[in-house]
Chain A
């Protein structure tokens, strides 16, 4: 049978015929400026590196939700050059920036193979000059906890939940060959908590969810108590709205396949920060399908993530490419 010749989307074709674009002005930028008012979203490419025939790029943009400049990493698989690809969001843990995952986890090969766009945002607003934001590593900068803060002085900027849920996907959809119908989410530690709550609070929005050593029950752990107290105040019901273990209990019986890897030698596991057992018990009770793998000898590091990231990519690809 004759196969029709591959037709590139017009913008790609245009680009190729136009010659090399100015390095600091990426073509995405040009496109946006033409198609959408510049005042909404302007993307600035910080870096671009070819990786497994695709590109690992970092962009900066002015976030409306967070009212600051935010960076995110995005991996565009080779498949993105010929069509729309599903998007997998990665949420990093405490203290991380967009760089940790893209430099340490080695997810690129699997993502390239499965044709997934992987977006890795930062973990909190930065440079907002809020008093005390840089005081501790587990609160403020680098510790947004993926909640929409309700307490002063955080509530203006610390709206990571809405940023991840709405603004970032919109931005990705507008600027990249992303299939907004197909997206999944995963994360590590605090990011694992973020991934779980985003999936559990928005049934059907994400095709699948997985996590590495997630903070499963923040209401019960020191990190969670500190962060939630700071961002959400003292009302425990507000806390529970961002607690995976609590959210499971009210999760409608819609399909969600959860994969969790947990290092057995994770110091935060023994410190009672992660509390996966609570989450599993709740899921067992609520019949939410979870495969929880307690990995012998692994700790909380990116070495642990790098070991199992392919399993997670595959887990998501199964649903995203179905």
Chain B
């Protein structure tokens, strides 16, 4: 690096050696030398531009090169091969140098370096070729043309990205200068009419620390790179100069590998930058958090210390007051005692004086007379107990001042208060799945919380709530996704917050509900017509759900089943009549929805809106009539009289060996076909859903049917309604009967499909929706075909 830097800072020495084309570039670079970056840019654009130009170049040349070029595939490997080949041709004509280092090795390294290197190689060759070998020119151009075509976009962008990142990161000028030096060299090299092979190279991986300064005063510019000395040298030097035994590599290759290494480092730097940026933003967050937390703590201290001070003041005042009271009491007591003491003293003195006075009296009688009361009085006085005890002690009681509460307050300054009860949120819509709910809660205050305890239990009507197991989760955040729950079930949640100081009271209880299980579409019971489909499903849930959503997607060309083209929401029941477009295929699925959200999609069913599709309602079937596996063939194996034991059947036909189909309740036209044996006896037609189960089809006003019986004379066809039939003879017994129910025109028509013959039309204003009905009057079978388009031959009627 050092070495190169020195070299690049002194290109003046190199310039005179270059040819005019090269030197045209250099004055500018000389002038801009101190501003390595500027120079760098120039070079960048130049080289990039050159790479872009190349693919267009052959278009201008009309020679054979074009043809050859276009034939070649543009895979990098092959491109390399061809460029290698052309290089080989050249090498034959130039020095022995090439042979010294061998092509195989060359190839390996080139492949390692892939596109970038190839591009450079190509460029180099293009410069050489015209000067030396016209014959090789074609091949050479071809390879040149190809190599950039495949590799230049990568190469160019790499360069560009590389450069930009270098610039952005404002790396030290030395680095960019260093980089520029590589390019600079490459460019210089390009411009040279170098006889040496472009494929010359030396391994650059085992660089040595030895440094030797390239002599700059040579006439020729450096063209190869001495890996040992890490300086560019002239090929001549390799042979005869100081670098004779050194390992050399092609200068271009050296440049490329150096670039690559730098680029690798760049990437690392970029990664580091990203990392640092992330760390910085993390630090910022922490900074803010610390600020907030300490602010909070300051407030906390302030309030708590204030509290303590107040308590102390109060305590002081209380004490002082108490002391005063006591002092007063004691003084009063002492004073009282003093007063009574003085009184007694006075009494004593008076008594003494009285006695002394008495003793002075000489008269005996008077004396006695006077002495008696005095003696009594004295005796009385002396009888009184002299109270000489202190009524109050002079010293005050040694009262213990209780600082426990203060202590507690003091303690609480450093510990945090236990949090208050959290507030649990009501369930957010669509936040649940079948087995999980997302529970959220919050705190009113800024309580510090270490974690929450989330309790929950299933709410059930069946088992008393006490018996339900209570479960508890420890949660750090103020939300939790509780899993492993039962679908479409209510759960009660409550939460308490914890920190080192203790546990908060529990929150209110909130009821959350899990999303339902997906419904199960009754696949067999789907019905459709040209313009609508009726889909029924089972809830799939024990508890009721709020509603159902039907999702349908139109099938085009057999694909696209995943794109939901329409959703029908808020369906309260387990069935939906969906309007559709005729002649399409749809995929329909259902979701159950409750407060918690929608269930998974049900298994889908496909609906084809071609013709009318109905199914046979086997509940209505006469016991002798069976529906075969295809669901649309009815058979009867023997006729016997079962009437007696059929009374318990509430929905099945008991007399007529018949069955009802379930058709979509939809206006418009409905068409289906019946295939029968010519000699089969049957009734086919339509009936109201509640048609008499104990009567025969066509014998009442709730059914319309075509009946076929075989009489000895002929096939007899009846078109029965309310037990009457027009007298109609049909010369060809139909084998395929088309039945067209047309609600719009109040018609029910029968056709012999084989000959497109109209047989009969009932004109009847159907007051309710009717259903297809089929009956057999002798052993045999009858096949129903539905979901088919109406044949054109009968559409006119």
Residue numbers of A with Cβ under 8 A of B are 255, 257, 259, 264, 280, 283-284, 287-296, 314-315, 317-318, 321-322
Whether a CB of chain A sits under 8 angstroms from the CB of B341 is no
Quick check: A321 and B796 within 8 Å, CB to CB? Answer: yes
Quick check: A290 and B731 within 8 Å, CB to CB? Answer: yes
Residues from chain A with Cβ under 8 Å of B758 in the complex: 257, 259, 291, 315, 318
Nearest B residue to A294 via CB reads B727
| Docked CA distance A321–B728 (Å) | 26
Whether a CB of chain A sits under 8 angstroms from the CB of B348 is no
Whether a CB of chain A sits under 8 angstroms from the CB of B701 is no
Residues from chain B with Cβ under 8 Å of A255 in the complex: 755
| Docked CA distance A257–B714 (Å) | 20
Nearest B residue to A276 via CB reads B729
A-B contact pairs, 21 of them (CB 8 A): A255-B755, A257-B755, A257-B758, A284-B714, A284-B731, A287-B731, A289-B731, A290-B730, A291-B730, A292-B729, A293-B727, A294-B727, A295-B727, A296-B727, A315-B758, A317-B796, A318-B758, A318-B796, A318-B797, A321-B796, A322-B796
Residue from the list A283, A284, A293, A314 in contact with B726, Cβ < 8 A: A293
Instruction: From known contacts A289-B757, A314-B797, infer whether A294 and B731 are also in contact, taking CB-CB under 8 Å.
Output: no
Q: How far is the CB of A283 from chain B (nearest CB, A)?
A: 4
Residues from chain A with Cβ under 8 Å of B792 in the complex: 322
Whether a CB of chain A sits under 8 angstroms from the CB of B793 is yes
Nearest A residue to B715 via CB reads A284
Which of B731, B755, B796 gathers the greatest number of chain A CB atoms within 10 Å? Answer: B731
Instruction: From known contacts A255-B755, A264-B727, infer whether A289 and B796 are also in contact, taking CB-CB under 8 Å.
Output: no
Q: How far is the CB of A196 from chain B (nearest CB, A)?
A: 13
Q: Which of B720-772 contact A (CB under 8 A)?
A: 726-732, 752, 755-760
Residue numbers of B with Cβ under 8 A of A are 714, 726-732, 752, 755-760, 792-793, 796-797
Instruction: From known contacts A317-B796, A321-B796, A322-B796, infer whether A289 and B732 are also in contact, taking CB-CB under 8 Å.
Output: yes
Residues from chain B with Cβ under 8 Å of A294 in the complex: 726-729
Residues from chain B with Cβ under 8 Å of A318 in the complex: 758, 793, 796-797
Nearest B residue to A286 via CB reads B731
Quick check: A293 and B796 within 8 Å, CB to CB? Answer: no
Nearest B residue to A290 via CB reads B731
Quick check: A292 and B732 within 8 Å, CB to CB? Answer: no
Residues from chain A with Cβ under 8 Å of B755 in the complex: 255, 257, 289
Nearest A residue to B759 via CB reads A291
Please report whether the interface of chain A is mostly helix, strand, loop or mixed according to DSSP: mixed
Residue from the list B714, B728, B796 in contact with A291, Cβ < 8 A: B728
Residues from chain A with Cβ under 8 Å of B714 in the complex: 284
Nearest A residue to B797 via CB reads A318
Residues from chain A with Cβ under 8 Å of B756 in the complex: 257
Residues from chain B with Cβ under 8 Å of A290 in the complex: 729-732
Residues from chain A with Cβ under 8 Å of B731 in the complex: 280, 283-284, 287-290, 292
| Docked CA distance A322–B795 (Å) | 9
| Docked CA distance A315–B729 (Å) | 16
Nearest first, the 10 A-B pairs at minimum CB distance are A294-B727, A292-B729, A290-B731, A283-B731, A284-B731, A318-B796, A289-B732, A289-B755, A289-B757, A293-B728
Residues from chain B with Cβ under 8 Å of A317 in the complex: 796
Which of A259, A289, A292, A321 gathers the greatest number of chain B CB atoms within 10 Å? Answer: A289
Q: A257-B757, A296-B727, A315-B758 are in contact. List 17 more A-B contacts (CB 8 A).
A: A257-B755, A264-B727, A283-B731, A284-B714, A287-B731, A287-B732, A288-B731, A288-B732, A289-B757, A290-B732, A293-B727, A294-B729, A295-B726, A295-B727, A318-B796, A321-B796, A322-B796
Residues from chain B with Cβ under 8 Å of A315 in the complex: 758
Nearest A residue to B752 via CB reads A289
Nearest B residue to A255 via CB reads B755
Q: How far is the CB of B749 from chain A (nearest CB, A)?
A: 11
| Docked CA distance A294–B716 (Å) | 13
| Docked CA distance A317–B795 (Å) | 12
| Docked CA distance A271–B96 (Å) | 129
Q: How far is the CB of A103 from chain B (nearest CB, A)?
A: 27
Which of B728, B729, B752, B757 gathers the greatest number of chain A CB atoms within 10 Å? Answer: B729
| Docked CA distance A94–B710 (Å) | 38
Which of B714, B757, B759 gathers the greatest number of chain A CB atoms within 10 Å? Answer: B757
Nearest B residue to A259 via CB reads B758
Quick check: A296 and B732 within 8 Å, CB to CB? Answer: no
Residues from chain B with Cβ under 8 Å of A314 in the complex: 796-797
| Docked CA distance A230–B756 (Å) | 40
| Docked CA distance A305–B48 (Å) | 96
Q: How far is the CB of A302 from chain B (nearest CB, A)?
A: 21
Quick check: A296 and B796 within 8 Å, CB to CB? Answer: no
